[in-house]
């Protein structure tokens, strides 16, 4: 994880220094333990390793393909909004249209958002996959669309692929969008 972050940080330093400066210092063991306690879930080791490099970012800019990278505190805050809606019965009679390996819930309390776009959409760690899925897989969660897409089988796989995409030009800095976005969207 640290090696992948080093490559990403080097690219940011050369191509978008403001993006590098918005990354937070590492999360402490206490912050991670508190988050796991609040979520009543054990986070995957590869995601914990990521947080131990950078505890998300400060301020909204899109470090992850149009989305903000959430700190431990923001992960809980975003998760709590969805949990409150779930507990209130808002998703009682609706389901999603998921890729294979993802449950058809509209939202599941074991879907842990680690990004957001400011409009209610997230990339999530799926800690409660269907029988054909992998615990810790990365999925999309759109607030107003039924699709739930499988992005990677683990956070480590997602992050390695994303950073590789940044290094090869699949993702580029866009001043208009305030961060890194898919080059096809420019």
Q: What is the CATH number of the domain that holds 13?
A: 3.40.1580.10
pLDDT in tens, 6-44: 999 999 999 999 999 999 999 999 999 999 999 999 999
Domain enclosing residue 163, as ranges: 2-185
Contacts of 120 (CB under 8 A, 6+ apart): 142, 143, 144
Percent of the chain with pLDDT over 90: 94
Question: How far apart, in whole angstroms, are the C-alpha atoms of residue 170 and residue 166?
Answer: 6
The model's pTM is 0.95
Question: How far apart, in whole angstroms, are the C-alpha atoms of residue 147 and residue 6?
Answer: 33
Task: Count how many domains the chain has.
Answer: 1
pLDDT in tens, 129-179: 999 999 999 999 999 999 999 999 999 999 999 999 999 999 999 999 889
């Amino acid at each position: 994880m640290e090696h992948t972050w080093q490559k990403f940080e080097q690219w940011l330093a050369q191509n978008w220094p403001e993006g590098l400066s918005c990354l937070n210092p590492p999360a402490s063991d206490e912050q991670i333990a508190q988050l796991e306690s609040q979520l009543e879930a054990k986070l995957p080791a590869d995601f914990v390793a990521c947080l131990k490099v950078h505890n998300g970012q400060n301020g909204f800019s899109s470090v992850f393909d149009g989305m903000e990278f959430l700190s431990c505190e923001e992960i809980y805050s975003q998760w709590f909004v969805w949990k409150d809606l779930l507990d209130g019965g808002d998703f009682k009679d609706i389901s999603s249209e998921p890729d294979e390996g993802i449950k058809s819930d509209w939202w599941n309390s074991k879907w842990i958002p680690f990004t957001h776009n400011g409009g209610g959409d997230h990339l999530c760690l799926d800690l409660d996959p269907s029988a054909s899925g992998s615990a810790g897989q990365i999925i999309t969660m759109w607030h107003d669309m039924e699709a739930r897409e499988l992005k990677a089988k683990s956070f480590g796989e997602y992050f390695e692929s994303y950073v590789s995409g940044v290094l090869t030009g699949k993702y580029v800095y866009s001043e208009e969008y305030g961060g890194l976005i898919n080059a096809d969207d420019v």
